[in-house]
Amino acid sequence: MLLSNMDFLATASGGVARLRELILTLAVQGKLMPQDSADESASELLKKIRAEKDRLIAEGKIKRDKPLAAIPEEEKPFELPVGWARVRLGSVLSLEYGSSLPEKERLPGSIPVYGSNGIVGSHTSALVNEPSLIVGRKGSVGAINISLVPFWPIDTSYFVTPPKGIELLFAFHLLRSLGLAKHDKATAIPGINRNDVYAEIVGLPPLAEQSRIVTRVEELMRLCDALEAKGRLEATQHAQLVSTLLGTLTASSTPEELADHWQRVAQHFDLLLDRPEAIDALEQTLLQLAVSGLLVPQDPTDEPASELLKTIRAEKGKLIAEGKIKRDKPLLPIAEKEQPFALPQGWNWVRLGEIVLVSSGVTLGRKTVIPSPISLPYLRVANVQRWHLNLTSMKELVIDTSELDRFQLVKGDLLITEGGDWDKVGRTAIWRDELPTCVHQNHVFKVRGTSDQWNPVWAEMYLNSAIARTYFALSAKQTTNLASINMTQLKDCTFPLPPLAEQSRIVTRVTELRRLCADLRQRLSAAQTTQSHLAQALAESVTSI
């Protein structure tokens, strides 16, 4: 049953990892291989292990452990195969402490030094000379490594040298099957107590069967490796196909050419949209087509953007004359090299600062006296995501009542993030009066139109597109892992201005298509959930045999 369904199990969400866990579970429960009545029983093997342990204790080579509790009937989670023995782990395996060996004390040599999750250096001498396991004690709790050569385990790890009668690789698979990370005490530094590990109840097979189990597990793990490699290859090939087909759409120069290319893409929809990342890529492609003017046809009867620009400039000039806003420094003309694509008929390139008001928010930690304080919720960078606001963790600040007009958000305002890590630069969302009164901090820019000749949804769409994100990435001030833009760079952003009527048509179409993408994601998620449930049911049916 397991072999005939491995492909199905492997392609479920997290499938190969779960398949590996299933193989180990079946192995340590004796369900992976048939038993051989000719094998010496584990009870006899257990007597030999205990006799050897008593001898070592008598010779003073090891200390006697505290007695382990008997195994009550209700703690027997699976039926033992014939010839097996049920024991607590501590009765057959000992976890010994590693020894401190700071890096400055290590001498150049070929002996591997193990930490909690693998080799961390080398040294001239070994602490352990026998093939053994290394178990993460602190840090990478429960991680298990194996060394077939002499080694030095440091004090963040335990080492396990199995006694005669327990194969090293069987002990390796047995410990892996237990998921020892569950014993993490969840302190500031993760760690496990070996007494908790010793209390684990396990099945001990005859020695000959241990060897057969190890051979079978290794075969099946190699098959898992192959399935994993196949999955990576398929994912790479799928990503290349998606990139190629969607690339033909963005390479279109006219709506007619786009329609031809779209027909080619539509023929492969089932193949294209069977992964979440493909739907994400499709959505970004649709967005890029939209802001480039290729998603909806132009209407020659629309008032051209040049007339819209005159209206916006006139309104802005009126506000300056009335003293309601200040005159900005003149913005430089847009050079041809700054134009990321050729505009459709009736569109204009402008700088964002020409058509909107850009303002900064409240600076936190101000020392000035506040005569008439008022405490209000405010937006931080973390609250402003692409396309939406996350208001689940709002904080409050105090401003003077006289500053409310300056910093308060008004329905339709665009919020644009100054920076942080790379994904945070230029993230844009619209304020839709989600709270009665709210302000914004100085790391979130506020962009507001000067008249009703302004469509903030179109602006949000463009500023979240790959084209604008490229501008922000190239303009941003860069540090090691952070980036930011200033107000001047935001105002300088080249911005495509379509006729107002066309902006509305594009927004309507993109809204419909984004809703379709959301529906596709939901259907795909439901299909993946169903497959995951079926895979889980199949795994449970295999382990229950």
98 Cβ contact partners less than 8 Å away, ≥ 6 residues apart: 114, 127, 134, 137, 152, 153, 154, 155, 156, 157, 158, 159
Question: What pLDDT, on the 0 to 100 scale, is given for residue 238?
Answer: 81
- Pick the range with the lowest mean pLDDT from 28-42, 57-71, 410-424, 434-448: 57-71
pLDDT tens string 45-93: 999 988 888 888 888 777 777 888 888 888 887 888 999 999 999 999 9
pLDDT tens string 12-47: 778 888 888 888 999 999 988 889 999 999 999 999
CATH number of 40-205: 3.90.220.20
Chain mean position to CA 495 = 32
> What's the residue count for the chain?
545
Closest CA to 503 of 452, 428, 468: 452
Using DSSP bridges, classify how beta strands 477-478 and 483-484 pair: parallel, antiparallel or unpaired. antiparallel
Mean pLDDT of 468-484: 84
Tokens linked to 473: 């990435």
Cα–Cα distance for residue pair 211/170, rounded to 1 Å: 7
Cα–Cα distance for residue pair 311/369, rounded to 1 Å: 42
Specify the residue for token string 């041809």: 336
Instruction: Please report, for the chain, the start and end positions of each structural domain, with discontinuous segments joined by +.
Output: 40-205, 232-294+510-543, 305-498
**Residue 177: what are its φ and ψ, rounded to 5°?**
-70, -20
- Provide DSSP, 264-325: HHHTTHHHHTSSHHHHHHHHHHHHHHHHTT-SS---TTSPPHHHHHHHHHHHHHHHHHTTSS
201 Cβ contact partners less than 8 Å away, ≥ 6 residues apart: 71, 75, 76, 77, 86, 87, 88, 89
Q: Do 40-205 and 305-498 share a fold?
A: yes
Mean pLDDT of 381-393: 92
pLDDT tens string 252-267: 877 778 888 888 777 7
Cα–Cα distance for residue pair 433/159, rounded to 1 Å: 60
Count other C-beta atoms under 10 Å from residue 139's C-beta.
14
Mean pLDDT of 259-288: 82
Tokens linked to 190: 């993760």
Q: Kindly indicate the confidence band of residue 147, based on its pLDDT and cuts at 50, 70 and 90.
A: very high
Q: Is 111 left (phi over 0), alpha (psi -120 to 50) or beta?
A: beta
Contact 98, 137 (CB under 8 A): yes
With a cut of 80, say whether residue 429 has pLDDT above it.
yes
Burial code of 331-347, b = ≥16 C-beta within 10 A, e = fewer?
Answer: eeebeeeeebeeebebb
With a cut of 80, say whether residue 447 has pLDDT above it.
yes
As to burial, measured by CB atoms within 10 angstroms (0-12 exposed, 13-18 middle, 19+ buried), residue 509 is: middle
Give the best-scoring range by mean pLDDT among 100-109, 180-189, 422-431: 100-109
Name the average pLDDT for the chain: 89
Cα dihedral 300, 339, 469, 347, rounded to 10, equals -10
Cα–Cα distance for residue pair 23/4, rounded to 1 Å: 14
Element (H, E) at 543: helix 500-543
Higher pLDDT, 480 or 398: 398
Tokens linked to 93: 């395996």
DSSP state at residue 196: H
Cα–Cα distance for residue pair 166/214, rounded to 1 Å: 11
Q: Kindly indicate the confidence band of residue 369, based on its pLDDT and cuts at 50, 70 and 90.
A: confident
Specify the residue for token string 């010779």: 59
Question: What pLDDT, on the 0 to 100 scale, is given for residue 416?
Answer: 96
Cα–Cα distance for residue pair 27/82, rounded to 1 Å: 14
Question: Per CATH, which fold does 305-498 belong to?
Answer: Adenine-n6-DNA-methyltransferase TaqI; Chain A, domain 2 (3.90.220)
Question: What pLDDT, on the 0 to 100 scale, is given for residue 545?
Answer: 62
Cα–Cα distance for residue pair 145/298, rounded to 1 Å: 64
Tokens linked to 69: 């509790």
Question: What pLDDT, on the 0 to 100 scale, is given for residue 247?
Answer: 85
The pTM of the full predicted model, rounded to 2 decimals, is 0.69
